[in-house]
Structures are given as C-alpha cells and as structure tokens.
Amino acid sequence: MKVSNKDLDLGLVKRVKAGDYQAFDLLVLKYQSRLISTAFKFVKDLQIAEDLVQDSFIKSFKSIGSFREDSTFYTWIYRITVNTSKNYLVSKKRKDELLQTNISKEEDYLIEPIDKDTPEDLLHAFQLRNIITESLNGLGEATKTALTLREFDGLSYEQIAEVVNCPVGTVRSRIFRGREVIEEAIKEYRKANEATHMKIKS
C-alpha cells in the first residue's frame, strides 16, 4: 500500500516532536524551494525571500508542538511563510514612510539618532557581541563557515554551496541550525539580563 505524501510528512513531524531534529532538516529540504518561490512573489528579491523562508522554518520549528496533525505540514508552513512575507512588507513600508517623513522636513536634513548610547547600552551591546561570537565559535566548522559566509560576507546560498562544495539544500539546513543556536543564546542572555534588572528593582 502506497503511503501518501501527507502521511510521510506527518511521520517526519512526529519524529521532530520526539526530538529527532534531522527529520526537520528533511522537511526543510523538501519544501524550501517551493516556499522561496512563494515568498519571492511578495518581496521580488531572491535573497530576501530566502531569508524569509529561513525565518519561517525557524518559527515552525519552535512551534512544532502546536501543529495539529489534521492538516498537511505544507499548508501550515505555507501560511507561516505568507504571513512572514506580509509582515516584512508592512515593516518595510513603515520604515520607508518614516524615512520619507524625516527627510521631507524643511528645517534641516540632519537625521538625529533616535536613542543616545548610554554606558549601559554600550555594555549590553558588548556583551551581546560576545554571546554571538561565542555561539558562532561553538558551532561545528561546516555550520560556522556557512553562517559566516551568509551573515558576514553576504554570499547567496548558491555561492556558499560552490565555496564549500556541497548541495544548496545542505547549506540552507546548516544556516538554519546555526541561526537557531545563536537565537537561543541571545534569548537566554536577555532572560538573564531581565532577571538581574528585576532583582535590582526589588
């Protein structure tokens, strides 16, 4: 008896929920191209579309426990990608409108920074940079290389694949995993920082 595509995906989802993260990599590899095409229809920029799909996969991975298995995984991740793309456009429009408002004022064309850097802000920035550097250095060499080439050198996924001599899908999977590790480290730092503030106030 032939297993349906939906059942195959649900089998992978169950494995992810049980802690098998490689099963999620298979879902990424299976649907990323279709989802990039979807995001591209909204943003008209391939690299931005690729990043939005990465964000969508991160969101879906973090909330996989809430995925109800009565629908297909693709329908679920498709909705997440569409919403992420729409949110990006709304955010970009607001930034563009704010910039247009600032530069259209007749008084002067000097754009003042919104926030002044306090010693505390500078300390947090320094600590955050250290957290990111430590997390990056803690990654496997292959993941670290892919993420560095993407985030710091601005290479496309296809260019990275040529540099490291591996499939584009593998590059995307490595970058997804690397971003997830760094995001988690930043979240832990912010939680600890908030807890410190609460203690000081009390």
Q: Which of 159, 151, 192, 194 is nearest to 54 (CA)?
A: 151
> Are 174 and 147 found together in one domain?
yes
Which CA distances in Å does 35 have to 102, 107, 138? 36, 46, 30
Same domain, 66 and 154: no
Based on the domain organization, do 11 and 72 belong to the same domain?
yes
Q: Which two tokens stand for residue 202?
A: 């009390």
CATH of the domain at 11: 1.10.1740.10
Percent of the chain surpassing pLDDT 90:
6
Say how many domains are in the chain: 2
**What are the tens digits of pLDDT across the range 33-65?**
888 888 888 888 888 888 999 999 999 998 998
Host domain of residue 134:
119-201
Which residue, chain included where needed, has tokens 């919104």?
114
Which one of 52, 79, 104 terminates a domain? 104
User: Are 100 and 129 in a shared domain?
Assistant: no
Of 79, 104, 129, the last residue of a domain is 104
Dihedral angle computed from the Cα positions of residues 79, 25, 144 and 50, in that order, rounded to the nearest 10 degrees: -30
Helices (H), ranges, 105-167: 119-137, 141-151, 157-164
- Report pLDDT for 198: 67
69 and 135 co-located in one domain = no
- Boundary residue ending a domain (46, 81, 104): 104
pLDDT at 108 over 70: no
